Chain A
Amino acid sequence: MNRNFRFAAYLLFTFVIPIARADVTFHGYGQTVVGTTFSNNDRVFPLQSTSSQYSADPNFQQNSNFALQAAAPLSDSISAVAQVLALGQEDFKPKFQWAYLTYHFNDTFALKAGRLQFPFYQYSDYFYVGEAYPWVVPPEAVYITETTHYDGINASAQQSIGDWYLYWQVIFGSTDTQAPSSGTSMLTISDHNMIGITLDSSYNDWLSLRAGYFLSKLSITGDGSANDPLNQVNIIVDSLKQSGLDTAARDLEAKDDLIQYYTVGFQITRWNWMILGEFAGLNLISPSFATNTESEYLTVGHRWGRFTPLLTFGHRNQWMPAGKILQSIPAGTPLYVNGTPINGIPVADLITTFADNPLLRAKDYYYGIGLRYDLTSNVALKIDFTHYDSHYTTSDYPTLIQAPGTPPVTNPQDANRLLAAVTFSF
């Protein structure tokens, strides 16, 4: 048992057991997922997606996980919950995914405070609980955010009105997430002072409608290593400052920039048929080098006894809205490197090239076919084949001007991914 696991277990048991009486309950979930993309080409799926880590060799780690949750009532209205999650892609290093207190005001209102999961999209706050949804991983067209948990509060209200059941959530909090960017370099993505509201509604349990809206202050910083793609951005930002274009420099940086997330979704479950879909958008209100995205998916499935075959279609558009930044840069403004203007390289061209970078731009289509088999009511076997089709080709990316010391970029390619999983909960 490694040191981290012992530490997490120690925290879990000292946090919960001494305070509670003998009514601590334990539950957990997990899955073993094996996947392949039949190819050893670099980055066949978008870099931010979980699939980008698969290759020709079967990979048993990337989407595998195991979690243990302890819950204890501390009084009639207060309970404590801690969930420790170990992800295969992090070498099964356990960490607190949830750790919070809930105060139930009454049957309608509750308040949670602590470490919580963002309820961005339908499956976001139980993204790792494979037992709870039909695919091996939720459709990557939409479920590609690196940010999962936050520290803050979640206020909820539930009500039944006629045949409708409504569940409201208002959240407030902040998060700093590490995400891989290029090579071994890491990005820190910070969402600060995020505020959001979601409504989950269901009509007679066969129709569900969902909507959500979030506002946040986004910052993205690199680690300054040789492979860090943000080195390129930093050179451009410094260059703009050299030319006295402070507004353009501030616009390009991703530092406390206001962004909005919005989403709608639906699910129809009737006569053993299941149709569900979501639309999600991310829009930069303050400009930065981050990207706007618009994505959606639709899944159709049918339950035949223990089998549920399904078909999924997904689409994702991603782009960096560089227009406002470019507008404020006079034509011919040169690039500066170490205080020296580089003639023949207008800095505006470099920004356009950066925005055209295949790491930032996407027009992707996903076609998936899958099958879920319920072995028992809490063990399932799943298999998923997805064809990923990028509608950008090499010719869509003009000759890239690269600032010194920046890594070469590769274009996305069409690819296939096969995943098989066994999931369980207890």
Chain B
Amino acid sequence: MSMNPRSLLGLIALVTTFDVNAGVIISSKDAPFSAIDAEEAKKIFLGREVSLSGLNVTVIFQKEGDTRTNFETVILGKTGADLTAYWSKLIFTGRAQAPVEVGSDSDVKAKVNSTPGAIGYISNGAADGSVKVLFKY
């Protein structure tokens, strides 16, 4: 079965608007964390793993926007209201500490550098020498 030109164009459009390698998970430059994989990233950002390399983790989310939606879709498999419902359940039954929410890529970088054990995500283009990259997605 061959693909017709219209659906091929649609597929190309889909791939280019949704850049697969679109973000990085970061910590502060001197945090004692080594590289993590997608599975570990998911556990950390779903509140199932509270420490890494012996240090308590503070999870940093970004406020609603493309970077956040992309991260949630690719890494967590849950987004928007579904993810809020998931976290509400954990926070209000005391199963996990609520993640911190900050505004933008630069806010995330500032936060991970000022908070021991903080881990966040930023878009690919924002990664620079001021932070340590733990995982690229």
Contacts and interface: CB of A to CB of B under 8 A. Distances in A.
A102 B94 contact: yes
A160 B44 CA distance: 13
A160 B43 contact: yes
Given A158-B48, A377-B80, A129 B97 contact: no
B34 interface: no
B88 A425 contact: yes
A108 to B, nearest CB: 10
A81 B94 contact: yes
Contact of A126 (B48, B78, B93): B93
A125 interface: yes
A129 B50 contact: no
B103 interface: no
Interface in B82-109: 82-85, 88-89, 91-95, 97-98
B56 interface: yes
A27 B98 contact: yes
A84 to B, nearest CB: 12
B32 interface: no
A45 B136 CA distance: 55
A107 B92 contact: no
A385 to B, nearest CB: 22
Given A165-B48, A376-B64, A83 B81 contact: no
Contacts of A165: 48
Given A205-B78, A378-B81, A126 B94 contact: no
A131 B88 contact: yes
Interface in A159-191: 160, 165, 167
Interface string B42-82: 01000011110000100000001000000000000110111
Nearest to A114: B94
Interface-centre pick from B64, B83, B91, B98 (highest chain A CB count, 10 A): B91
Interface string A40-60: 000000000000000000000
A417 interface: no
Nearest to A81: B94
A132 B88 CA distance: 6
A133 B84 CA distance: 10
A377 B93 contact: no
A69 B48 CA distance: 21
**For the side of the interface on A, what is the size category?**
35 or more
Interface in A116-132: 116-117, 119, 125-126, 129, 131-132
B43 A377 contact: no
B48 A131 contact: no
Contact of A29 (B48, B83, B92, B94): B92
A396 B86 CA distance: 45
A117 B81 CA distance: 24
A71 interface: yes
A71 B88 contact: no
Contact of A132 (B43, B49, B85, B94): B85
Contacts of B43: 160
A114 B107 CA distance: 37
Interface of B: 43, 48-51, 56, 64, 77-78, 80-85, 88-89, 91-95, 97-98
13 contacts: A67-B92, A106-B51, A107-B50, A107-B51, A126-B89, A129-B88, A131-B84, A131-B88, A132-B88, A132-B92, A303-B82, A377-B80, A377-B81
Given A29-B92, A306-B81, 17 more contacts: A73-B97, A83-B92, A98-B94, A107-B49, A112-B94, A126-B89, A129-B89, A129-B92, A131-B88, A132-B88, A160-B48, A165-B48, A303-B82, A374-B81, A376-B81, A377-B80, A425-B88
